[in-house]
A and B are shown apart, each in its own frame.
Chain A
């Protein structure tokens, strides 16, 4: 018996010894390096040039003895969220500063994963940023992240087509529908689509439906925490969106469209109107673009006899991990990256808009992006998605319901009622 036990245990023991030696070797290497390393997690930025490496080097230059490592996040938003959740719930100290989608900030703050920045900031330090971006970084009256990049839903339209038919950009969806009809009848081009937007079952669909709800005076979440406080108006907004597809104002494939699918179709010159984020503008103006010089943006339409249209805001924030070993330095790095010079560099190098309002009238930036001053007004009027720790739960619950109403397998009233019932079970379990 004991002999066989020994036979089993001996190799195990030697494995253990090797393992411990290896561990000791790692630990032994640490004291020699006095250099403090900060890790910044971010998604690689697309654009003419990634401005981030230079920004990280300039922080190092200002803080001798500190090294900053930029580490790439997974590609999709879902994967990024999952990466953070696993590491932060597992109390990993593997990173100090993190780029966050603004919809995650309340959730991460509620979970206790973020450093409370309120006391680190000067009283008026966030005043230069868009109020909606600051609102998205605030939870329970405390500030948990620094606004970094700004996004807002916009209506792109073909200036050449509207001018040719003597039309002004629409202020209401009803006008937009009418203009689509008139232009398509006159153009007689079967390949010309009317209004493109994002109707695939994903986060972008929630953004598009929210904009339609707001224009119709409906909300997903009320201040008191109730969901769909105006169910009839919400259903009516969904019915309107479904109508766009049924009547051919929007192509049938809208129900499979995300930002890039719709952006490409519009960029190929196959549509009159497009709802998208500001990043698309630069891509429409490239030298090989089919719509170069024929595109302009306005605020999203409202509804006739309804409210003015507003775009949903989005963007990225910078948070500091509660597990950071160097919280003071990490806050300094986040501030450096969210500073005015850094946001200017990012706006110049990549197609990302700043959260600092003054930059929209900065001469250097306006020269590079002439539409910036107008973009400022749209972003200022923009409205954030519900700022709640349960945002992801709400979004993933309503996505299939919204999609079911859009493709016509569920009446809008049913979709809203079903979404409410599911949310009350899930949110009831939390509260």
Chain B
């Protein structure tokens, strides 16, 4: 019991205490620099429920998460299969892949800022006369941000899948060959089922990361245009750190926290269900 005490204490000090404090803050009008501090009840939550900027941020977060995770899984899986099928140079290919993953998100964002540059950017120069207003068009800005994020985090999925691919026993493939299974059958009957668990783990990690994504859009677009790329975390940052509305910002953070928890819980339930079936 006593040996558990440091863990419990650390958890209490680092997680429970701030968590409860944020919950308490969210029930107040609290802006310390203007000496505003009074109980607000559920005012902040009531405002959020009908706040178009909040709903818009929720929409941007959802689209960003679904699109980027889906693309990352498909492309990551493809990359892993391609490297696995390669005869030589696997290590080199893997290193190149990891390069993108190793870069800080802010650096990636700056890199893509130049790629998306309206007149001098590589992408628009390549498009020539059909050049696009990547970061200034309300319909294109979010896809542009998703693309940058996919480039950065696809390698994570690829490396996880590749590691699992290496662990699939060669006998399975030999047996399939003996049974006369074609390439497609081998892929859908052996490789993909064997990858199922690791893919779920990858999707869980990536989803939780994407739901909390901040730096890539903050640097690339600052949330614009028209708030189209403003995710919940960017909105919370603006409220908490830029305008110092601690009460309102805390209410926002509580909602983001609940959202992430709900998604994580759903995934874990799904994962556990998968485990019991497998067992």
Per-residue interface assignment for chain A, residues 1 to 33, with 1 indicating a CB less than 8 Å from any chain B CB and 0 otherwise: 100110010000000000000000000000000
Q: A1-B2, A110-B34, A253-B119 are in contact. Are A400 and B227 (CB under 8 A)?
A: yes
Query: Closest residue to B219 on the A side, CB-wise?
Result: A76
Interchain CA distance A113-B34 in the complex, whole Å: 11
B245 touches A393 (CB 8 A): yes
- By a CB distance below 8 angstroms, the chain A residues around B119 are 253, 265, 268, 270
Interchain CA distance A41-B70 in the complex, whole Å: 45
The answer, among A265, A409, A430, for a CB contact under 8 Å with B31, is: A430
A256 touches B223 (CB 8 A): no
- By a CB distance below 8 angstroms, the chain A residues around B247 are 429
B226 touches A430 (CB 8 A): no
Q: How far is the CB of B260 from chain A (nearest CB, A)?
A: 23
Interchain CA distance A290-B223 in the complex, whole Å: 33
- By a CB distance below 8 angstroms, the chain B residues around A422 are 51, 53
Interchain CA distance A159-B248 in the complex, whole Å: 51
The answer, among B6, B40, B136, B242, for a CB contact under 8 Å with A257, is: B136
Q: Is A254 an interface residue (CB 8 A)?
A: yes
Chain A interface residue count, Cβ-Cβ cutoff 8 angstroms: 48
Q: Is A410 an interface residue (CB 8 A)?
A: yes
- By a CB distance below 8 angstroms, the chain A residues around B2 are 1, 4-5, 8
A396 touches B134 (CB 8 A): no
- By a CB distance below 8 angstroms, the chain A residues around B137 are 252, 255, 407
Interchain CA distance A138-B228 in the complex, whole Å: 37
Chain B interface residue count, Cβ-Cβ cutoff 8 angstroms: 42
The answer, among B6, B135, B230, for a CB contact under 8 Å with A256, is: B135
Q: A4-B2, A253-B118 are in contact. Are A200 and B33 (CB under 8 A)?
A: no
A202 touches B118 (CB 8 A): no
A111 touches B227 (CB 8 A): no
The answer, among A110, A201, A257, A265, for a CB contact under 8 Å with B222, is: A201
B33 touches A107 (CB 8 A): yes
A392 touches B242 (CB 8 A): yes
A111 touches B34 (CB 8 A): yes
* B29, B53, B136, B230 pick with most chain A CB within 10 angstroms: B136
A251 touches B118 (CB 8 A): yes
The interface residues of chain B, by DSSP majority, are classed as loop
A201 touches B3 (CB 8 A): no
Q: A252-B133, A407-B138 are in contact. Are A110 and B226 (CB under 8 A)?
A: no
B136 touches A409 (CB 8 A): no
B216-237 interface (Cβ within 8 A of A): 221-228, 230
Query: Closest residue to B131 on the A side, CB-wise?
Result: A253
A201 touches B224 (CB 8 A): yes
- By a CB distance below 8 angstroms, the chain A residues around B51 are 422
B136 touches A400 (CB 8 A): no
- By a CB distance below 8 angstroms, the chain A residues around B15 are none
Interchain CA distance A9-B33 in the complex, whole Å: 40
Q: Is A160 an interface residue (CB 8 A)?
A: no
- By a CB distance below 8 angstroms, the chain A residues around B245 are 393, 426, 429
Query: Closest residue to B53 on the A side, CB-wise?
Result: A400
- By a CB distance below 8 angstroms, the chain B residues around A202 are 222, 224
B3 touches A8 (CB 8 A): yes
Q: How far is the CB of A426 from chain B (nearest CB, A)?
A: 7
A78 touches B224 (CB 8 A): no
A-B contact pairs, 17 of them (CB 8 A): A200-B136, A253-B118, A253-B133, A256-B134, A256-B135, A257-B118, A261-B118, A264-B120, A393-B245, A399-B224, A400-B226, A403-B226, A407-B138, A418-B52, A425-B47, A429-B40, A430-B34
Point out residues on A near B: beta carbons under 8 Å. 1, 4-5, 8, 78, 81-82, 85, 89, 107, 110-111, 113, 199-202, 251-257, 261, 264-265, 268, 270, 389, 392-393, 396, 399-400, 403-404, 406-410, 418, 422, 425-426, 429-430
